[in-house]
């Protein structure tokens, strides 16, 4: 499978936003106040996670207490209250003691029975059915109430309450998290339809789980609503793989708001959150967004703690230990952890823990001067690579340690495994390839030094300092550009354009004659970009460098290529984004329409990475699709040859077919077909929906 160019700067922005909104990084420059919208959303998501964990473990009273404290109005819905009380009744019986059996009878009389009378039409029948739990044992898998005894009922109730609370508290996941769900689901659908194997299946299967939370259900008063636009129904149904009725119910719950319904459905998809955090940290370290050493702390804060309040300061003036490690001073935090059982005494979010992991990490030199660096055996120009000033700007990773209930519900062994998983994230990035003897020219064994070298070259290239970047690469490996001639051509393009912009035409022509010309002569694909580059001489007053090459994209390509030579693989998140964005392009080419949700999820910005002068070299089929796919209209697809689908046997596929959007929607609705299949059928019958339907039912 091909990949598509990615705007890594746009991805950086989304990832940083995600990390901030999830309190994964320490960022004292922009510490949110407890009353800020982002902080409020984080607190709401934290509350939902706490309620979810309580329900999953059968602690119904704890969940109800949290609801009364943070979302009391949701308990006014008797449908929800009945389901909670019914589960409480089952959990009391599950304990098996005589006292708990008496408590179950009391719950039955005082709470469950009265609620069953007006919850919903089927509630009283469900109430009578659950009484059988008095008779049939929980171990009897063939009993009429085996489903009531099943612990899966806990998970279903926890998922349902999460869906309801998410909408009630307006606590949606960050855009990056939702975009990942959407892109991966489209990637899977595309691979399934095309009958191809996903090159990232090992990552996507682990990241996006198969199960979804149950959907939130609208109140009865919302069932009498005007009919929704069929365009919205079909767009939602096919975007998140719902039935038509499921899409209608989702729109009802969202009161007709298509984008709100879309967010509700996306957040129902379950992600492996620890694995997602691991991927994000791996990417952030590689891109120089966060420092490779996490924040260290043993302390917990029972209430809200801003990034500034919870930050840990490195005491760089302290003496170093004999083993070379720098001593770390933990910031003092007020308060003490709340008792997990005392739910009603919570203030704000009493379970929230602001403790960072005690992880083994790469040693960092905190000295404010550059004099204490080890002597560089490679002879690199350290003055051009990131110094302590630039490194100090990087954020620190704090990790996700949400609340006391999380710590209590995790065994010590599980906690150790999680810490070990996170602490080894950076080391997994530095996996050495076989044949590493080729790198003997650069005797750098320290992983952090390798990262600093990569980030230094990335910084040089992103600033347009191409000559300096080439010099550093040649210092590392004189043979590198012999195997990466296109990268050398790009860097020399930047150098040429920079000289043209400064008015030094003689030096620019010298670069063209010495480098660009010979490189193009050895690779005919470079001739066209060479000609376009030379046209900059005709526009001396324009910013030739700024308008010609995306420096950040070039810097990322250089970082990946040099990193591989150093034995450092690119982050797995980069692989996921390349493959899923390509699938997104191809999928909507099959659908012959524009994605209505790509702007909401910032997917369009992730694709804005064009390389004008090097289009013949790097433009793949996927890149061309990304440039032309956006020209299709949402409601009309015209001038598209059905032969591109590769499956039309009729002569209709040999000519252009104009498909009316209403006809497409009619076939999709009546035959319950995907958009691409509906268009394919219409193409065979001159775009006539009635004829298609008649032929199918004939």
| DSSP state, residue 395 | B
Instruction: Say what the pLDDT of residue 448 is.
Output: 74
pLDDT digits (tens, 9 = 90+) for 511-543: 999 999 999 999 999 999 888 888 888 876 555
pLDDT at 70: 95
Element (H, E) at 550: none
Q: How far apart are CA 172 and CA 166, in angstroms?
A: 6
Please, are residues 124 and 114 in contact by the beta-carbon 8 Å criterion?
no
User: How many CA within 13 A on the CB side of residue 641?
Assistant: 7
What is the sign of the dihedral through the CA atoms of 276, 278, 284 and 286?
negative
How long, in residues, is the chain? 698
Tell me whether residue 260 is exposed, middle or buried, using C-beta atoms within 10 angstroms of its C-beta: 0 to 12, 13 to 18, 19 or more. middle
Distances in whole angstroms, Cα of residue 220 to Cα of each of 115, 119, 224, 253: 17, 11, 8, 10
CA 413/CA 668 separation, integer angstroms? 51
What per-residue confidence (pLDDT) applies to 295?
53
Q: Low-confidence residues of the chain, pLDDT below 70? A: 1-3, 27-38, 220-226, 294-392, 401-446, 540-549, 609-658, 698
Structure tokens at 165: 């609370």
* SS3 per-residue string spanning 455-505: HHHHHHHHCCCHHHHHHHHHHHCCCHHHHCHHHHHHHHHHHHHHHHHHCCH
3-state secondary structure of 352: strand
Q: Is 581 helix (H, G, I), strand (E, B) or coil?
A: helix
Residue 284 confidence (pLDDT) = 94
Please state at what angle helix 551-565 crosses helix 466-476, rounded to 10 degrees: 10
**pLDDT value of residue 317:** 39
Task: Give the whole-angstrom CA distance, residue 146 versus residue 135.
Answer: 12
| pLDDT value, residue 609 | 60
> Residue 694 has what pLDDT?
76
Mutual orientation of helices 675-684 and 661-671 as an angle, nearest 10°? 110
Burial of 421 (0-12, 13-18, 19+ CB in 10 A): middle
Can you read off the two tokens belonging to residue 601? Answer: 């999820």
| pLDDT tens column, 261-308 | 999 999 999 999 999 999 999 999 999 998 877 555 444 333 333 333
Nearest 5°: the CA angle 670, 673, 676 is 130
Looking at residue 450, what is its pLDDT?
A: 82
How many degrees, rounded to 5, is the angle at CA 76 between CA 70 and CA 78?
125
Q: 465 vs 460, 494, 495, 505, CA distance in Å?
A: 5, 8, 7, 18
Helix (H, G, I), strand (E, B) or coil at 656: strand
pTM here? 0.75
What is the C-alpha separation between 615 and 493, in angstroms, rounded? 14
Residue 189, number of CB atoms within 10 A of its CB = 16
What are the C-alpha distances in Å from 328 to residues 104, 316, 319, 321?
53, 8, 11, 11
In angstroms, what CA-CA distances link 142 with 146, 150, 402, 558, 560? Answer: 6, 12, 40, 62, 57
């Amino acid at each position: 499978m091909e990949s598509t160019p990615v705007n890594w700067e746009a991805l950086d922005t989304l990832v940083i936003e995600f990390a901030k909104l999830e309190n994964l990084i320490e960022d004292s420059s922009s510490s949110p106040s407890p009353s800020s919208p982002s902080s409020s959303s984080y607190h709401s998501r934290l509350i939902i996670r706490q309620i979810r964990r309580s329900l999953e473990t059968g602690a119904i009273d704890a969940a109800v207490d949290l609801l009364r404290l943070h979302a009391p109005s949701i308990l006014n819905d008797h449908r929800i209250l009945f389901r909670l009380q019914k589960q409480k009744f089952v959990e009391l019986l599950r304990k098996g003691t005589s006292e708990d059996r008496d408590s179950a009878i009391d719950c039955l009389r005082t709470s469950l029975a009265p609620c069953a009378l007006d919850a919903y039409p089927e509630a009283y029948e469900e109430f009578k059915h659950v009484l059988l739990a008095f008779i049939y044992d929980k171990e009897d898998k063939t009993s009429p109430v085996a489903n009531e005894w099943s612990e899966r009922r806990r998970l279903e109730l926890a998922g349902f309450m999460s869906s309801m609370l998410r909408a009630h508290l307006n606590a949606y996941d960050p855009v990056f998290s939702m975009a990942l769900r959407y892109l991966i689901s489209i990637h899977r659908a595309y691979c399934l339809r095309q009958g191809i194997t996903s090159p990232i299946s090992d990552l996507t299967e682990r990241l996006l789980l198969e199960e979804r939370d149950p959907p939130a259900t609208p109140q009865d008063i919302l069932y009498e609503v005007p009919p929704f636009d069929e365009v919205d129904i079909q767009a939602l149904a096919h975007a998140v793989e719902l039935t038509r009725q499921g899409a209608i119910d989702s729109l009802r719950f969202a009161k007709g708001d298509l984008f709100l319904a879309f967010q509700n459905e996306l957040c129902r998809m379950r992600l492996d959150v620890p694995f997602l955090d691991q991927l994000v940290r791996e990417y952030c370290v590689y891109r120089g967004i966060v420092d490779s050493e996490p924040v260290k702390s043993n302390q917990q804060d029972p209430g809200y703690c801003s990034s500034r309040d919870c930050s840990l300061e490195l005491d760089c003036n302290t003496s170093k230990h004999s083993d070379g490690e720098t001593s770390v001073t933990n910031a003092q935090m007020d308060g003490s952890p709340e008792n997990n059982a005392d739910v009603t005494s919570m203030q704000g979010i009493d379970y929230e823990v602001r403790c960072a992991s005690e992880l083994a990490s790469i040693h960092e030199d905190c000295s404010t001067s550059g004099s204490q660096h080890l002597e560089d055996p490679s002879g690199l120009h350290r003055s051009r690579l990131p110094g302590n000033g630039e490194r100090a700007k990087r954020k620190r990773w704090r990790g996700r340690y949400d609340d006391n209930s999380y710590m209590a519900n995790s065994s010590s062994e599980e906690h150790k495994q999680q810490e070990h998983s996170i602490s080894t994230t950076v080391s997994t990035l530095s996996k050495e390839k076989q044949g590493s003897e080729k790198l003997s020219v650069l005797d750098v064994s320290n992983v952090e030094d390798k990262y600093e070298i990569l980030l230094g070259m990335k910084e040089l290239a992103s600033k347009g300092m191409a000559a300096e970047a080439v010099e550093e690469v040649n210092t590392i490996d004189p043979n590198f550009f012999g195997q990466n001639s296109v990268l050398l051509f790009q860097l020399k393009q930047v150098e040429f354009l920079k000289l043209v912009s400064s008015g030094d035409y003689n030096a620019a022509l010298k670069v063209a004659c010495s480098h660009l010309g010979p490189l193009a002569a050895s690779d005919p694909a470079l001739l066209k970009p060479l000609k376009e580059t030379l046209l900059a001489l005709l526009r001396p007053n324009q910013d030739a460098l700024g308008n010609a090459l995306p420096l950040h994209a070039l810097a990322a390509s250089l970082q990946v290529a040099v990193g591989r030579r150093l034995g450092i693989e690119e982050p797995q998140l980069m692989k996921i984004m390349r493959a899923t964005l390509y699938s997104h392009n191809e999928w909507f080419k099959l659908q012959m329409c524009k994605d209505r949700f790509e702007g909401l999820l910032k997917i369009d910005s992730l694709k804005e990475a064009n390389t004008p002068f090097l289009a013949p070299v790097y433009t793949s089929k996927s890149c061309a699709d990304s440039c032309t796919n956006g020209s299709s209209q949402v409601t009309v697809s015209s001038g598209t040859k059905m032969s591109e689908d590769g499956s039309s046997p009729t002569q209709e596929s040999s000519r252009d077919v104009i498909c009316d959007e209403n006809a497409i929607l009619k076939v999709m609705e009546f035959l319950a077909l995907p958009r691409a299949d509906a268009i394919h059928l219409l193409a065979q019958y001159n775009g006539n929906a009635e004829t298609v339907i008649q032929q199918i039912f004939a």
